[in-house]
A and B are shown apart, each in its own frame.
Chain A
Amino acid sequence: MQRFPCPFCGPRDETEFHFAAEAGKHRPEPAPDVTDAAWADYLYMNDAPKGTAREVWVHLTCGEFFVMTRDTATRAVTDVAALPGRTP
């Protein structure tokens, strides 16, 4: 069992967390000007990096989303941060 650090609750079992998305995606706007390709890119396309990744996760227990930086090959977590505007 791996432990992930929630910025709000501290280290908890990995089963309490859920991967949400790769971080750094920006919703294209305004909607009427967004092409199908740009929307599909935002909605579906990923980098799936091997090595360092910045990802949005949710701690299911407290319900907070946050950004986790970790290595997708070794699974080591290097940083967690609350989303902008949320203070732990």
Chain B
Amino acid sequence: MTRYSAIALAREGLLGHRGWRAAWRRVRPAAAYDAVVVGGGGHGLATAYYLAKNHGMRRVAVLERGWIGGGNTGRNTTVIRSNYFYPESVALYDLALRLYEDLSRELNYNIMLSQRGMLIAAHTPAQMEICARIANAMQLNGVDGELMDARRALERVPLLNQGSDARYRCLGGVWQGRAGVARHDAVAWAYARAASALGVDIVENCEVTGIAIEGGAVTGVETTLGPIRTERLGLAAAGATPALAAMAGARLPIHDYALQAFVSEPVKPVLDTVLLYLGTGTYVSQSDKGELVFGGGLDRVPTHGQRGNLPVQETVISGLLEMFPAFGQLKLLRQWAGVVDVVPDSSPILGPVGPEGLYVNCGWGTGGFKAIPAGGWLLAHLLAEGRHHEISRPFDLSRFAEGRLIDEAAGSGIAH
């Protein structure tokens, strides 16, 4: 692996950029691996990297039916934060945030992490009380979070509509200074490159079509590139995970919905933080290129089609314009959707399912980009050790039969 550095960049600049190598090896899959991960999104690629790095497992493959990062990892709005309510969630998402904070250095790849802070803004006294409750919970859980009053909130987001016609005048909100955004493609590519350098095979255009089971244990997978033997199989396929689990006779508490994102034409800097408005459900940040990147709630129709519907577009865009009337002059450049795996308690599922040797990392729904380093770390632990890490244990599938839900939709009042 050639190291990326300012010197390498300068040298290549002088030599016409002809010396760059492919960031990961292109391979045909081998006949057998010690562990196979299905899904080349952030979670699958991070799993492979940590299998090699933390557990010394090098005979590992990631099988991706399309191109890596082509699923939700390359479709999300890149908000990273750990302002959750329950201790189990904070332990999970803050592990991810701490790993993110050092990731560019560790993987020698600029993931463009920008900890510009995030404001969850409230416009009613009741919402402010909820915000105070979240801020208190975050502080009790040892994570930076504070209640912000209206004056300070408006200093952070001066363009916010405070006119006499404003329907949702901001009263303040919860602030997390360590929250921010990162470049989603870079996260996938950085993990792929680092995993490949440690010997992991990353196989694109390879769809898993069946799971082989003998004597109650996984023995391999069927793929469009032929059968592959393995006794440890990790599924990290977001909305496609229920169909994969069904190949092993397991069912999951997941509904698939489309979640949309929108990007405006680029403008000069107008917003230097991430804003989620409880009143409109719309959230927005500005990319380094100057585009406004925004989104909102789920389409209400279960689907596997990666495209959004018009009613939700109308809700999200009108929410944005209510918050920032000036943005009404902007043109929308792009709009798209990803199929997200939604769980009743808005928390992920991590752990064994079905036959021996099968583990899942799914159910991230609308908010799993921020969790990629932790999801990978924990699925790698499960695959390598055959048992839970203490941070993943509460997220085991058994919580549904045991009535131990970690209901973040109710707890933190925000879905993603």
- A: residues with CB less than 8 A from B are 1-2, 13-15, 18-19, 36-37, 39-41, 43-51, 53, 55, 72-75
Top 7 A-B pairs ranked by shortest CB distance? Answer: A44-B253, A40-B401, A45-B251, A50-B304, A48-B242, A36-B401, A40-B400
With beta carbons under 8 angstroms apart, the residue of A40, A55, A72 that contacts B304 is: A72
Looking at B25-33, B210-218, B295-303, the stretch in contact with chain A turns out to be B295-303
Having A1-B309, A45-B253, A51-B304, one finds 6 other A-B pairs with CB under 8 Å, namely A2-B309, A44-B400, A46-B251, A49-B243, A72-B305, A75-B301
Chain A hits for B305, CB < 8 A: 72-75
Q: Is B14 an interface residue (CB 8 A)?
A: no
> In chain B, residues 375-416, which have Cβ atoms closer than 8 Å to a Cβ of chain A?
400-402
Q: What is the minimal beta-carbon distance from B344 to any residue of chain A, in angstroms? A: 6
Closest to A74 in B: B305
Q: What is the minimal beta-carbon distance from A72 to any residue of chain B, in angstroms? A: 5
Chain B hits for A51, CB < 8 A: 304
Q: What is the minimal beta-carbon distance from B181 to any residue of chain A, in angstroms? A: 30
Contact check, A48 vs B402: say whether CB atoms are below 8 A apart.
no
Q: Bound complex: CA of A70 vs CA of B79, how far in Å? A: 33
Q: Can you pick out 10 interface pairs between chain A and chain B where the beta carbons lie within 8 Å of each other? A: A1-B309, A14-B300, A14-B311, A44-B400, A45-B253, A45-B400, A47-B251, A48-B254, A73-B303, A75-B303
Q: Bound complex: CA of A18 vs CA of B311, how far in Å? A: 13
Q: Is B246 an interface residue (CB 8 A)?
A: yes
Q: What is the minimal beta-carbon distance from B412 to any residue of chain A, in angstroms? A: 21
Q: What is the minimal beta-carbon distance from B308 to any residue of chain A, in angstroms? A: 11
> In chain B, residues 295-347, which have Cβ atoms closer than 8 Å to a Cβ of chain A?
300-305, 309-311, 344
Chain A hits for B303, CB < 8 A: 72-73, 75
Give per-residue flags for B225-254: 1 if the beta carbon is below 8 A from chain A beta carbons, else 0: 000000000000001101100100001111
With beta carbons under 8 angstroms apart, the residue of B239, B301, B304 that contacts A14 is: B301
Q: Bound complex: CA of A41 vs CA of B353, how far in Å? A: 13
Q: Is B64 an interface residue (CB 8 A)?
A: no
Q: Is B255 an interface residue (CB 8 A)?
A: yes
Chain B hits for A50, CB < 8 A: 240, 243, 256, 304
Chain B hits for A15, CB < 8 A: 311
Contact check, B255 vs A48: say whether CB atoms are below 8 A apart.
yes
Q: Bound complex: CA of A57 vs CA of B351, how far in Å? A: 32
Chain B hits for A47, CB < 8 A: 242, 246, 251
Given contacts A46-B253, A48-B255, whether A19 and B401 have CB atoms under 8 Å apart is: no
Report whether over half of chain B's contact residues are helix, strand or loop; otherwise say mixed. Answer: mixed
With beta carbons under 8 angstroms apart, the residue of A2, A14, A41, A72 that contacts B302 is: A72
Q: What is the minimal beta-carbon distance from B270 to any residue of chain A, in angstroms? A: 31
Chain B hits for A1, CB < 8 A: 309-311
Q: Bound complex: CA of A2 vs CA of B240, how far in Å? A: 24
Closest to B402 in A: A36
Q: Bound complex: CA of A57 vs CA of B125, how far in Å? A: 35
Given contacts A46-B252, A47-B246, A48-B242, whether A73 and B304 have CB atoms under 8 Å apart is: yes
Contact check, A18 vs B243: say whether CB atoms are below 8 A apart.
no
Closest to B342 in A: A48
Closest to A21 in B: B255
Q: What is the minimal beta-carbon distance from A50 to any residue of chain B, in angstroms? A: 4
Q: Bound complex: CA of A36 vs CA of B242, how far in Å? A: 21
Contact check, A39 vs B401: say whether CB atoms are below 8 A apart.
yes
Chain A hits for B300, CB < 8 A: 14, 18-19
Q: Bound complex: CA of A2 vs CA of B401, how far in Å? A: 37
Chain A hits for B401, CB < 8 A: 36-37, 39-40
Chain A hits for B311, CB < 8 A: 1, 13-15
Closest to A41 in B: B251
Q: Bound complex: CA of A73 vs CA of B302, how far in Å? A: 9
Q: Bound complex: CA of A62 vs CA of B263, how far in Å? A: 37
Q: What is the minimal beta-carbon distance from B340 to any residue of chain A, in angstroms? A: 11
Q: Bound complex: CA of A73 vs CA of B306, how far in Å? A: 8
Q: What is the minimal beta-carbon distance from B67 to any residue of chain A, in angstroms? A: 19
Contact check, B302 vs A55: say whether CB atoms are below 8 A apart.
yes
Q: Bound complex: CA of A38 vs CA of B375, how far in Å? A: 28
Closest to A2 in B: B309
Closest to B251 in A: A45
Q: Bound complex: CA of A49 vs CA of B242, how far in Å? A: 8
> In chain B, residues 265-314, which have Cβ atoms closer than 8 Å to a Cβ of chain A?
300-305, 309-311
Contact check, A44 vs B302: say whether CB atoms are below 8 A apart.
no
Closest to A45 in B: B251
Chain A hits for B304, CB < 8 A: 50-51, 72-73
Contact check, A72 vs B344: say whether CB atoms are below 8 A apart.
no
Closest to B243 in A: A50
Q: Bound complex: CA of A30 vs CA of B240, how far in Å? A: 34
